[in-house]
Amino acid sequence: MSRSATATIHLDALRANLARVRMLAEGAKVMAVVKADAYGHGLERCARALAGADAFGVASIADGLRLRAAGHRQRIVVLSGPDAASDLAEMRRLQLEAVVHHESQLAMLEAEQGGDPLKVWLNLDTGMHRLGFPPGRAHAMRARLAALPAVDKAIVLMTHFASSDEFDNDFTARQTECFRNATQDIPGERALSNSAGLLGWPQARENWVRIGGLLYGLSVATGKTGADFGFAPAMTLTTRLVAVNHIARGERVGYGATWECPEDMRIGVAAIGYGDGYPRSAPSGTPVRVGDAPVAVIGRVSMDLLTLDLRQAPNARVGDEVVLWGPQLPVEVIAQHANTISYELTCGVTRRVLFAEDGG
């Protein structure tokens, strides 16, 4: 059986989402975060659509290399910085910028004998407790970096919000206050807000916003979709029906025989499964669309196939399109059923899925 699962990437949606981010950012520079292969949407194609961003944020030097090879000349920031001293030469060669968040990275820079000035972002840990220097060391760390001839003096100060998607939680306000108290006498641009920070915490926009999920039309708030905030989904995941079977009342469907037919009914089989990135944790009742009809998953998701209740799609036939998520069926809804987040679903689409583009 040939695989028919296709992820269509809507380039116009990416461009429109970037334009909306700029409107909300009210003059702040925009870093388009394209790590994890642009949240599963494809690094090069998304960078092409997001070429109007002021910078790209990546997780690795390898991603920076791919962007430079594709001809992008924007600023590119490696969000976790160098892992080894040898990374510094490659970052300079590619004109990448480094986030410095740990004493070991500072020691690498201090051990250098020379080199063109490297642009650096100094990360302060105001409450995430993942990466970053304690706020009380901000002045000392910034001074040590500024004293190095191989570091550009225009050091950007940044932090990362832990709970900015909880708009009624004051922890983000406390992080913002902590950051400002620690950096009030330090020169340089500031970068605080992620996607949720842009939406819920306008007082924290500063000079830069670092935007990931919203660019792909993905929600950053529980119970909301990207469309609820005016953003368009950038991926539609589809496949085809490969079988329509008539199953008798009382018969069971799928591995483990977990779903029993309540009546004589038609069951659809779609050519997609967890081998393609559709979540195995999606339970019976998870919504799917066959053509224009809303249907539901029944039984367990298997590696290659998905079984569907076709009672609401009486005209469904083999070969009909099946939509797993997209503009008419938000990926956030699927994620909620599967007890995960939309980011994991789009990032999890596997290489056996065919990728297509629309929107030029």
CATH number at residue 239: 2.40.37.10
For the chain, residues with pLDDT lower than 50 are 1
Query: pLDDT per residue over 242-296, tens digit each?
Result: 999 999 999 999 999 999 999 999 999 999 999 999 999 999 999 999 999 999 9
What DSSP character marks residue 51? Answer: T
Residue 35 falls in the annotated catalytic set: yes
Does 224 map to a domain?
no
pLDDT of residue 115: 82
Domain count, the chain: 2
Q: Any catalytic annotation for residue 39?
A: no
Confidence (pLDDT) at 52: 97
* Same domain? 246 vs 212: no
Cβ atoms 224, 195 nearer than 8 A: no
Amino acid 48: pLDDT: 98
Query: 98: domain CATH number?
Result: 3.20.20.10
Residue 319 structural domain? 235-358
Both 170 and 303 in one domain: the answer is: no
pLDDT of residue 3: 79
Q: Which of 217, 247, 273 is the last residue of a domain?
A: 217
Of 159, 190, 217, the one marking the end of a domain is 217
Is residue 281 included in any domain, yes or no?
yes
Residue 83 and residue 93: Cα distance in Å, rounded?
Answer: 16
Contact 306, 272 (CB under 8 A): yes
Given the residues 119, 153, 255, 274, the one annotated as active site = 255
The length of the chain, given as a count of residues: 360
Residues 84 and 184 in one domain: yes
Q: Evaluate whether residue 5 is within a structural domain.
A: no
> What pLDDT shows up at residue 80?
95
And the tokens for 96? Answer: 């990448």
- 84 within some domain: yes
| CA 224, chain centre distance (Å) | 16
Cα dihedral 327, 307, 353, 338 in deg (nearest 10)? 60
Helix, strand, coil percent values for the chain (each to nearest 5): 30, 25, 45
222 located within any domain: no
Q: Return the pLDDT at 113.
A: 82
Q: Find out whether 8 and 357 touch, Cβ atoms under 8 Å.
A: yes
Instruction: Say what the pTM is.
Output: 0.96
Q: Judge whether 6 lies within some domain.
A: no
Please indicate, yes or no, whether residues 36 and 182 belong to a single structural domain of this protein. yes
In a domain, 131, yes or no: yes
Catalytic residue among 35, 39, 216, 278: 35
Q: Would residue 317 count as lying in a domain?
A: yes
264 lies in the same domain as 211: no
Other Cβ atoms within 10 Å of 91 Cβ, number:
20
Which tens digits make up the pLDDT trace of 53-72? 999 999 999 999 999 999 99
Same domain, 314 and 191: no
| Whether residue 165 sits in one domain with residue 50 | yes
Dist. CA 145–CA 290, nearest whole Å = 57
